[in-house]
Amino acid sequence: MHVVVNAAMSVDGKLSSRRREQIAISGPDDFDRVDQLRADSDAVMVGVGTILADDPSLTVDDADRRAARADRGKPENPARVVADSRIRTPPDATVLDGRAQTYLLVSEAAPPDFIEEMEDAGAYVIAAGQDQVDLTTTLAKLEGDGIDQLMVEGGGELIFGLLEEALVDELFVYIGSKVIGGRDAPTLADGDGFIEDFPEPELAGVERVDDGVVLHWQF
């Protein structure tokens, strides 16, 4: 499986302010780049923190891109994947609106009645990991289901979890011309953080887009 992380951060590495509201960091050209990346992926993944904060749809915005996917014999939208150990995703979340197949990656600590509720809402539930989702195992299962290119759209907790398991192949970071600041604001990679053996990706591309720049890192 090929895992591509994409996120937009401020000048100082933040995905949002300490209030964890969605903040417009990028512009129209970057939005278009991200939409293409989505259209090129078999599935788009986020952590439950992003579901709760932003309630994203994770679908392809451009109708031509959806049509092109259909022409290739694919579903109009890539599948959606949420890492959600104990099922905090609300049943009325937009990712459960039926516009695309949705996977919920959960842990063994997920309450069985919540699992049932999610399955009733149309989600495929994959369980692995004791208290938190075992990302290596669940991504391997997704690959077994035909998901070869997985795009990850954040947030910082999930991105760190994937980096910790060495599951990330590529990282696209749009850096926008805003400073957010804040020692408690979410950053591109949160979690416990590394203290040694820092992952050292290669800088494969630098491109100015909108008022900012896209850095492309390869692991």
Ligand X SMILES: NC(=O)c1ccc[n+]([C@@H]2O[C@H](COP(=O)([O-])OP(=O)(O)OC[C@H]3O[C@@H](n4cnc5c(N)ncnc54)[C@H](OP(=O)(O)O)[C@@H]3O)[C@@H](O)[C@H]2O)c1
- Going from the C-alpha of 82 to that of each of 17, 94, 208, the distances in angstroms are 22, 12, 31
Among its own copies, ligand X, none, what binds residue 194 when CB lies within 5 to 8 Å by partner kind?
Answer: its own copies
Element containing residue 46 per DSSP (H, E): strand 43-47
DSSP letter string, 190-211:
-SS--SSS----EEEEEEEETT
Among ligand X, its own copies, none, what binds residue 18 when CB lies within 5 to 8 Å by partner kind?
Answer: its own copies
Residues 6+ apart with CB under 8 A from 113: none
Residue 9 C-beta: closest distance to ligand X, Å:
6
The smaller minimum CB distance to ligand X, of residues 71 and 192, is found at 192
Residue 42 C-beta: closest distance to ligand X, Å:
19
47 binds its own copies (CB under 8 A): no
Helices 28-39/63-71 angle, 10° precision: 20
User: To which residue do tokens 């900012």 refer?
Assistant: 212
Dihedral, 9, 13, 19, 22 alpha carbons, nearest 10: 0
Number of residues that bind its own copies (CB under 8 A): 50
If one counts every other C-beta atom within 10 angstroms of the C-beta of residue 28, the result is 9
Among its own copies, ligand X, none, what binds residue 185 when CB lies within 5 to 8 Å by partner kind?
Answer: its own copies
Helix (H, G, I), strand (E, B) or coil at 149: strand
Residue 143 C-beta: closest distance to its own copies, Å:
24
Among ligand X, its own copies, none, what binds residue 78 when CB lies within 5 to 8 Å by partner kind?
Answer: none
Print the binding letters for residues 188-207 with its own copies: x by CB under 8 A, - otherwise: xxxxxxxx--xxxxxx--x-
Applying the rule CB under 8 A, the residues between 103 and 162 that interact with its own copies are 156-157, 160
Binding site for its own copies (CB under 8 A): 9-14, 17-19, 23, 156-157, 160, 163-164, 171, 173, 175, 177-195, 198-203, 206, 208, 211-213, 215, 217
